[in-house]
Amino acid sequence: MKRAFVILVLWCLLAVAGILLQNNYLVSVATSAAFLALWGQSWNVLGGLSGNVSLGHSMFVAIPAYVTVLLFQQADVPPLLGALLGILAAVALAAVIGAATLRLRGPYFSLATLAAGAVVLSLILHFDELTGGPSGVAISFAKDAPEKLEFTNVRAYYLIAITLLAAVTLFVDMIKRSRLGYYIAAIKSSEEAAAAAGVRVAWIKVLAFCLSAALTALGGVFYVFFIGFADPNFLAGLALSIKIALIAVVGGTGFLVGPIIGAIFYETIDAVANAYFGAVGGWDVMILGFSVVAIVMTDPRGICFMAERLWQAATHQFTRRFAAGDA
């Protein structure tokens, strides 16, 4: 209950800040950061809790996005119903991929998910008559239609993004504290020991993969309407998969706020670098790369672990000085 109250308070503060902020560009950056944090939090169910590093999570963004948009434009299926079908499609794919690959460990599983993501991208590009191929699919709208997920004010998407992020964060926290979370932690520690204790290892790993895919897909549906364009090379590309994993790891997979901190870190550097240097020469990527290297060299466990270590050192120093003053 304490965590839920804190998240609710933070949501209220962020909602008020987004509504009062007059700069639409900054609101768009904050919205992108919220969606990225949502995906990182979703990835954390698999990569953080179970220790299986996926490098193909962008396919769970692309599939529901394309399913929702195509059903809406070609069959006049309401986006909310299409979103449900898209999420189910992502979960079904995760179940198939998980059953086939989760027996692999370490880099072999990562490479398998990387290959699966590449296959999904190739299929989207191949069936260009349906998906638009490399040109993608544009979503055109000029008026507010909430039932169609269409809003002319970017703050509506911002509120949706932070609401989804808060809900997913609470759900991930619930998973961590549930019996399923303890099973996943046991499997991460030792699959052999967990199996000997009666844990159905294969089933639990597939379930974690499906939950991660479902939460990722939830963000993908709303994100594609936020940007107004289904771009295959972005939604299903390797760059997004790496970004999702990166922000979770850089933020700190052991912390509930880790992916959120990582997303803020990434989007802040990206926005500032683009504002000062533009996209010419790849300065944004270069600065981000150096920043990530600096963090990893300082503490490979991420920003949250670094902050915790600094807090403990400061607390210890203060306590020692306070004790010395009393003496």
pLDDT in tens, 248-299: 888 888 788 889 999 998 888 888 777 777 655 567 677 777 887 888 777 7
> Mean pLDDT, to the nearest integer, of 65-82?
92
pLDDT in tens, 126-181: 998 888 889 889 887 767 888 888 888 899 999 999 999 999 999 999 998 899 98
CA distance 319 to 117: 51
**What is the predicted pLDDT for the residue at 324?**
64
**Does 220 fall in a domain?**
yes
In the predicted structure, residue 112 carries a pLDDT above the cut 70: yes
Residue 326's pLDDT band (cuts 50, 70, 90): low
C-beta separation of 213 from 56 below 8 A: no
Residue 50's pLDDT band (cuts 50, 70, 90): confident
**Does 81 fall in a domain?**
yes
**What is the predicted pLDDT for the residue at 327?**
53
**What is the predicted pLDDT for the residue at 290?**
81
**Does 16 fall in a domain?**
yes
**What is the predicted pLDDT for the residue at 37?**
94
**Does 299 fall in a domain?**
no
> Mean pLDDT, to the nearest integer, of 195-203?
88
The position carrying tokens 């912390």 is 255
**Does 294 fall in a domain?**
no
- Cβ-proximal residues to 10 (8 Å cutoff; 6+ apart), any chain: 166
Structurally, the chain folds into a number of domains equal to 1
**What is the predicted pLDDT for the residue at 325?**
60
How high does pLDDT run on average in the chain?
87
Its domain, for residue 222, covers: 2-240
Q: At what angle do helices 179-189 and 201-227 cross, to 10 degrees?
A: 110
**What is the predicted pLDDT for the residue at 41?**
94
**Does 229 fall in a domain?**
yes
Nearest to 27 by CA among 160, 146, 195: 160
> Mean pLDDT, to the nearest integer, of 70-76?
90
pLDDT in tens, 94-105: 999 998 888 887
HEC letters along the chain: CHHHHHHHHHHHHHHHHHHHCCCHHHHHHHHHHHHHHHHHHHHHHHHCCCCCCCCCCCHHHHHHHHHHHHHHHHHCCCHHHHHHHHHHHHHHHHHHHHHHHCCCCCHHHHHHHHHHHHHHHHHHHHCHHHHCHHHCEECCCCCCEHHHCECCCHHHHHHHHHHHHHHHHHHHHHHHHCHHHHHHHHHHHCHHHHHHCCCCHHHHHHHHHHHHHHHHHHHHHHHHHHHCEECHHHHCCHHHHHHHHHHHHHHCCCCCCHHHHHHHHHHHHHHHHHHHHCCHHHHHHHHHHHHHHHHHHHCCCCHHHHHHHHHHHHHHHHHHHHHHHHC
In the predicted structure, residue 20 carries a pLDDT above the cut 70: yes
**Does 305 fall in a domain?**
no
pLDDT in tens, 294-320: 887 777 778 887 887 777 777 877 777
**What is the predicted pLDDT for the residue at 121?**
94
**Does 321 fall in a domain?**
no
**What is the predicted pLDDT for the residue at 104?**
82
**What is the predicted pLDDT for the residue at 117?**
93
